[in-house]
Structure formats: structure tokens, C-alpha cells
Amino acid sequence: MQDQLKLDSFICFAVYTASHALNRVYKPLLDALGLTYPQYLAMVSLWEQDGQTVGGLGEKLFLESSTLTPLLKRLETAGYVRRERSREDERVVVVRLSEEGIRLKEKAIGIPGCIAAASGRDAVDLTRLQAEIVALREALNKSVA
Amino acid sequence: MQDQLKLDSFICFAVYTASHALNRVYKPLLDALGLTYPQYLAMVSLWEQDGQTVGGLGEKLFLESSTLTPLLKRLETAGYVRRERSREDERVVVVRLSEEGIRLKEKAIGIPGCIAAASGRDAVDLTRLQAEIVALREALNKSVA
DNA sequence: CGATAATTAATCGTGCGCGATATAAAACGT
DNA sequence: ACGTTTTATATCGCGCACGATTAATTATCG
């Protein structure tokens, strides 16, 4: 019985399927905003701090430019952001919210509450679990670095 | 300060990034077996119980046939499984491990230990966290259903 | 100053992951 | 038995996500 090659005992499988489950809860909420889930994360990051570079967003979201560049182009096509090369350093692309992108925040305000409700946990418990998962992420990232 | 539209406070963002972090830890281990992470999960499920149907695997892995069919075809091309229509019910496709697929299990035995080590937590703690994340997943799945 | 190295985005190829749809087989109702 | 409905898998289009590579710009060093 020492066979630990069981799916249901894998922390990785729990995280993997929880991630998909979250996506399914978000889907209808984000459809109303015309955003996918990764696009929503990028917008949240820009609402926190406008005018970030592609690389800066990548560091915050843990994504590569090969993922972000097409995603940001789609956000630009949707009219939520503008992408422009920095004048000081022509290598850098700065991403700025459009008026419409700024306005979108109001529509997104209620989303975290919906997710919290769907989780069936109170705020304190969610925050604790969130911190634990972040700690797991940091430990894993450290082990690869 | 009641603005809760902050990335770092999102449980979803924690899960999302933890999932990517896990993938990065798995990548080099699975490269040695010639598997991707979702392919590995399918193999684990088949090692637990051989001869599952596409639908059965989908229920266990929380994946649609649109995801599994191409994935299983790639596993078949790699020589790890065979896909054959059931004789009793021609709608059903049964997935069976090949000899090589059975042998692959030996190479995969050590992987969970590597992940546990990378997480920097002891087995008890990991199991507890795993159960909490599964509970979150179940609550979320219930809310959409 | 000029060659080289480093940095930043973008591009390309592969593999998910899903929703919508299609196709085929089985089950069902009359 | 036959048309209808349900079920199981497959197909298609789109959007991630990443590794490897490329292109352009900036920094560095002799």
C-alpha cells in the first residue's frame, strides 16, 4: 500500500483542478466584461498601476512575453489598453489603460465578492488559505530558480 | 482602502500562479519520460485503473473529450496506450496501457517525492493543504453545477 | 569609438482547455 | 419496427502558456 502514485493524493492535481474550477466560476462573470481570465488579471494589474511595461506585467503575473504580447494585442483591439514604445528606451513597450479600460473597473468591482461567495468560505478563512497557497508557490519557484 | 481589486489578495491568482509554478517543477522530471503534465495525469489515472473509457477519464481528470481525445491520440502515438472502441457499445472508446505504458510507471515512481521536496513541507502538512484545496474545488464546482 | 554582450519584445511551433457543433450508436416511446 | 431522444466521442476555432529563436535597442568594455 506504499504506492503513492494516486491522483487524489497529489497536491499538484488538487491545484490543477482547482484552477480549472475557478476558471469555470469566472467565465460567466468575465464574459459580461468581454475578458478572458488572464486578460482580467492583466487588467487588474493595470488598475493597480497603470503604464507598466510588458516585462513588468510579466513579472507580476509570472508570464512570458510570448504569452503577454498576443494577450495585450487582443486587449488593445478590444479598446481597453494602448501599447506604445517608450521614448527613453525603445526596447520597452509601455501598456496604458484607455478611457474605456479605466471605466471597465467599475464593472469588475463585484467579481471578487462573487468568487468569495462561490467558495463558501468567510473572508478570514479565504485569506489564510490564499496565503498558504502563495507560500507553496514561492517555495516551488525557489526550488527551480 | 476598501478597494479589493488587488491581485495579491486574490485566491484565484494564488491558485493560478501556483499551478504554473508546479508545472515548471514538473517539466524537467516529465521531459525525461516524454510526457506533458496533463499526459502524466492521464497515465497516473490509467496506472490506478487500466481500461478506462474516455468519458471515465474525463470525469476523474475534470476534462472534456475535446481535450482528452487529442491528448490520448498523442499518448497512443508515443506508444504508451491503445485506444479501441468497445464491442458492446460502439460509442465508447476504451483506453488501455501498452507494455511500454505499464513499464513507464517505474520511471515515474520517484516524481511525487521530488515535488514534495520542492514544496519544502512535510507529508502531513502537504496532505492537509491538499485536502483544503480539494474542498475549495468541490465548493466551486458545486456553485456552478 | 567600435565591437561585443546584455536586455526587451516579438515571433513561431506545440500542446492544452473549452464551448459549440458534428457524427454515430444506443435507448426509448409509441 | 421506426422516429425521437440521449449518450459518447470527435472535430473545429480560439486563446492561453511556454521554450526556442529572432530582431532591435541599449549597455559595456577594451
Averaged pLDDT of chain B: 94
What whole-number percentage of chain A has pLDDT above 70? Answer: 97
Flag whether B16 is in a domain.
yes
Mean pLDDT of A81-93: 96
Shared-domain flag, residues B85 and B139: no
| Model confidence at A1: pLDDT above 50 | no
Pairwise CB contact (< 8 Å): A11 & B115 = yes
pLDDT of residue B110: 92
pLDDT of residue A125: 93
Shared-domain flag, residues B80 and B122: no
Flag whether B5 is in a domain.
no
Closest residue (CA) to C1' of nucleotide C23 is: B91
User: Chain A contact for B36, CB < 8 A?
Assistant: no
Shared-domain flag, residues B61 and B115: no
Flag whether A21 is in a domain.
no
Q: Measured from the CB, is B2 under 7 Å from any atom of strand D?
A: no
Mean pLDDT of A23-33: 95
Question: Strand D: which nucleotides have any atom within 7 A of a protein Cβ?
Answer: 7-13, 15-20, 24-27
How far apart CA A60 and CA A77 sit, in angstroms, is 23
Q: B89-127 pLDDT, tens per residue? A: 999 999 999 999 999 999 999 999 999 999 999 999 999
pLDDT of residue B100: 97
Candidates B109, B101, B115, B110; CA nearest to B26 is: B115
Closest residue (CA) to C1' of nucleotide D24 is: A91
| Model confidence at B2: pLDDT above 60 | no
Give the CATH number of the domain where residue B24 resides.
Answer: 1.10.10.10
User: Chain A contact for B91, CB < 8 A?
Assistant: no
- Domain range for B125 is 110-145
Flag whether B2 is in a domain.
no
User: Which alpha helices (H) appear in chain A, and where do they start and end?
Assistant: 11-31, 37-48, 54-61, 65-77, 99-108, 111-119, 123-144
Shared-domain flag, residues B39 and B97: yes
Q: B16-39 pLDDT, tens per residue? A: 999 999 999 999 999 999 999 999
pLDDT of residue B5: 73
Flag whether B3 is in a domain.
no
Flag whether A66 is in a domain.
yes
How many domains does the structure of chain A reveal? 1
